[in-house]
Chains A and B, each alone.
Chain A
Amino acid sequence: MSSVRGAVPVRLTAGWEGLRGHPALARAAGWALFVVVALTVLFPAFDVNWQDCLIRTTPFVFCGLAVAVPARAGLVNIGGEGQFQFAMVVVTAVVLLLGDSLPAIVLLPMLVLAGLVGGAAWAGIAAALRVLVNLNEALCTLLLNFVAPLILAYFVFGPWRDASAFNLPVSKQFPDAARLPTYGLTQLHLGILFALVAAVVVWVMLDLTRWGFGARVVGGNPEAARRAGLPVNRIVFVALITGGALAGVGGMVEVTGIEGVLRPNIGVGFGYIGFLASWLVGHRPLDLLGSAFLLASISVAGDSLQINAGLPSTSVYVLMSVVLLVVLAFRGLATTRGTA
């Protein structure tokens, strides 16, 4: 982001013409402009807390990346939701097992790993079925979304229920060592940095590595990939479980950074909003930071609109879908005109 900030004034003085040949820079400039306008004009006007926005952006980024990586290989992962939920279960299991005996410096990396493994395992079911019996991964990941919350519910209603919580279905409070450190007195936690790093890592992985090139070929024409001797099935498998692992880290960040307990209904819908965020920017990981922030702003603003303007909470989803539909429709128009 720092290079983007440096580049914007220079490019703006050079005028829009200068941006024409650099679509990536133009998009970055656009997102930067939006962030500035949001922070200086929109948020004060609508009484939105920018910290809340950043915190809400984090899971959207992870769930968006969970879509972007498989998308590069031509796969549709609608399962960010389930991968997110299942990873929280795995993370909680590790916390309950080891949380009291380890210091944060050892425990937190283990929890990140638990999130990675949990998300990857949940996506791995769909990935294995896709590779072995050619089951459609979109359908499979989507259906698994309905299973993961049931597993979560089983544990918090059953073995992990905290007896001191007045019969509420929640786990024990996580010890401090299992909480992501926050910045000063704010609620801003380390997970925000994780999201930034993850987006950059995914960008490097997809755009600069040999694996990313292979994934692009598989996504562009699987038959050509096969004829080129690429390991198509392996690329498909890795792309899906990498996506799952990213959603899993999102779940880990949410449960350790914000909640501190496991309960049902954490992050419900985040997977789908991440899906929107990724489609909004054509699955480009760096642009995803912008679209996730946009959707987070709408989502947080929705909360205050409910209180101040008395709008129903669903109006937020209406707004989000309108944004996505408009963007996709214009992109569709552009491509049909381009080929005509």
Chain B
Amino acid sequence: MALALPEHGFRLRRRAVAQLIGEAAERYGLKVRQRARIRDLSMGERQQVEILKLLLSGARTMILDEPTSLLAPQEVDALATVLRELRDEGLALALITHKLADVRAMCDRVTVLRGGVVQMDGIDPSTLSDAKLVEAVVGRHLPQIRPRPRQLPVDPTPALEAVEIDVEAERGRLVLHGVSLTIERGEVVGVAGVSGSGQRELAEVALALRSIRSGSLQVLGFDMCDGRPDKALDAGAAGVSEDPLATDVVHGLTVTEHMALSRLEVPKRALGYDWRALERAVDALPEAHTLKIAEGRRLLSTLSGGNVQRVLLCRALARDPGLIVAAYPTRGLDLANVMATQEMLLRRARDGAGVLLMSEDLDELFLMSDRIVVLHGGRVVASVDPERTERHDVGSLMLGLAA
């Protein structure tokens, strides 16, 4: 049996520590099973243990970052009670959350940040309507929607067809529940959702980087249930990933060498590759010019984020893919490149590629998508037509309110 707390002092004096914990738990109304192992506790119980740990270390100010994201509804209520008690004890609490319900249940004052800018500061949430809050979170100004003629699919095989897929993350937690999604050729489907709602997993599944637990998944007509990224690439899927520094940049490889890492046809020479020929081929790509990618001989790991992003975009588009999974494709780019990238993705869609677009920027989603699906807690909660929907409604859906 392990103690749920870090021990104090030189020697581990179990009994004294246990007593201390018991007293503190009682004082703050926390229920902590002292003799249980942490891994056997539920998420809510673990959280109470963490809070108790902070209290015992003498904390008077606490910052809780998305404390409810992993909790069941009853546990959320329990947490709210505990936090109110702590407040009455005289502690200062800062709560970071993306759920309006949390704000209402737990907070005395609310501050809204959007894009690093304070939108409203220190206002009592009970004086605000949901509509006001949502507006502060997602912004008000309406983007100029470019009218784009909707075309019939060029090829009847959908670019992506997912039926009722469940996807497990590490330790068996479900991160996608029963998601069904079809992307026709020539269609841009945007995915909206607060971060951590399952977008990353959806993008990875579409490139067969994850295997699915149940349901069926086809990419460009090929079965992709078993998570074999090489098969997805061969079928004609390409992607720009969410965190290229972690998942795409190889230390010590040049820009040109990275181009070879996508099943792009690389000219061979003797036992190796003909890097010069590849460099020439890359230079000849229209995307390489539009995006002004870095010189082929430079090491990718030494380039800035925006430069890396441009190289990887160019690589994804170079193969003329049938399905483009673009996770935050314009992140880190300056305005000119953002527009060039959006233009290129739309042109690819017009030429018959299916595009799955993730973005934090609702403007971008509204501008580019033929359809927006909203993810919340790993489920598709809505699929809407951007031309007939207010961004405010999408915002409500993202935050888990019924539209």
Contacts and interface: CB of A to CB of B under 8 A. Distances in A.
Interface of A: 204, 208-210, 212-213, 216-217, 220-221, 223-231
A75 B247 CA distance: 19
Contacts of B273: 210, 213
7 contacts: A204-B271, A210-B268, A210-B272, A216-B253, A217-B250, A225-B261, A229-B262
B233 A208 contact: no
Contact of A221 (B230, B251, B270): B251
A9 to B, nearest CB: 30
A220 B250 contact: yes
Interface of B: 207, 209, 229-234, 241, 246-253, 257, 260-263, 268, 270-273
Chain B contact residues: helix, strand, loop or mixed: loop
B271 A224 contact: no
Most chain A CB neighbours (cut-off 10 Å) among B209, B241, B271: B271
A224 B270 contact: no
Contacts of A230: 230, 261
A212 B261 CA distance: 14
A224 B247 contact: yes
B201 to A, nearest CB: 15
A208 B209 CA distance: 29
Contacts of A227: 207, 209, 229, 241, 247-248, 261
A91 to B, nearest CB: 29
A224 B249 contact: yes
B272 A208 contact: yes
Nearest 6 CB-CB pairs, A to B?
Answer: A229-B230, A220-B250, A228-B261, A209-B271, A221-B250, A229-B233
A229 B272 contact: no
Contact of A226 (B229, B234, B272): B229
Contacts of B270: 208
Contacts of B246: 223
Interface centre among B232, B247, B250, B262 (most CB of A within 10 A): B250
Given A210-B272, A226-B209, A220 B229 contact: no
A209 B229 contact: no
B325 to A, nearest CB: 11
B305 to A, nearest CB: 16
A335 to B, nearest CB: 11
Given A204-B271, A208-B271, A229-B230, A224 B252 contact: no
A98 B27 CA distance: 83
A213 B262 CA distance: 13
Contacts of B271: 204, 208-210
A220 B271 CA distance: 21
A77 to B, nearest CB: 20
Nearest to B209: A227
A283 to B, nearest CB: 12
A230 B263 CA distance: 9
Contacts of B207: 227
Given A208-B271, A228-B262, A213 B251 contact: no
A229 B315 CA distance: 14
Contacts of A221: 247-251
B111 to A, nearest CB: 37
B277 to A, nearest CB: 14
Contacts of A217: 250, 253, 261
Contact of B252 (A210, A216, A229): A216
Nearest to A205: B271
A271 to B, nearest CB: 27
A265 B273 CA distance: 45
A204 B207 CA distance: 34
Contacts of A210: 268, 271-273
Given A221-B247, A224-B261, 11 more contacts: A204-B271, A210-B272, A212-B272, A213-B260, A220-B251, A223-B246, A226-B229, A229-B231, A229-B232, A229-B234, A230-B230
